[in-house]
Amino acid sequence: MTETIDAVTLVAGSAEGAAFVLSEPLSFWGGLDSATGAIIDQWHPQKGQIMSGKILVMKAGRGSSSGSSVLAEAIRRGTGPAGIVLMTRDAIVTVGAMVAAELYAIHCPVVLVAERDWRWITASGRLVLHADETGAKLHLLDGID
């Protein structure tokens, strides 16, 4: 079954990929290896997992404003997420994706979704994002029937 959810565009773009749902917030600064796309935060429960090319799904980011530069670098290298779904606005994550779009012309859409839709999104195996200045659509594939 395919569901479509309306979202708010934070950074425009289109992406498709496997959902990579974080069980806890992540700081990109000290938490992500931009060379490999691996989570390197020693205390994160998903340490060692790779987010490259996936749609990163997290309630919010965590931490340092320097995380924007790490995210932008990962996007530039092709080791970052293809897109990002947030439940809480996060300026650090948003700025990182905006910088990658502006400096490198590589788009990693970032969208904001409502809490009421969270369980559907996190249960989906694959996501398709389309985000522009008029709004965003998040298509849930391989999810709950």
Active site residues: 64
The structure tokens listed for 111 are 């969208």
Q: Which residue has the tokens 């000290």?
A: 30
Instruction: Find residue 18's DSSP bridge partners.
Output: 126
Which residues share a beta bridge with 61? Answer: 26
CA 7 centroid distance within chain: 13
User: In a 3-state reduction of DSSP, which class is residue 50?
Assistant: strand
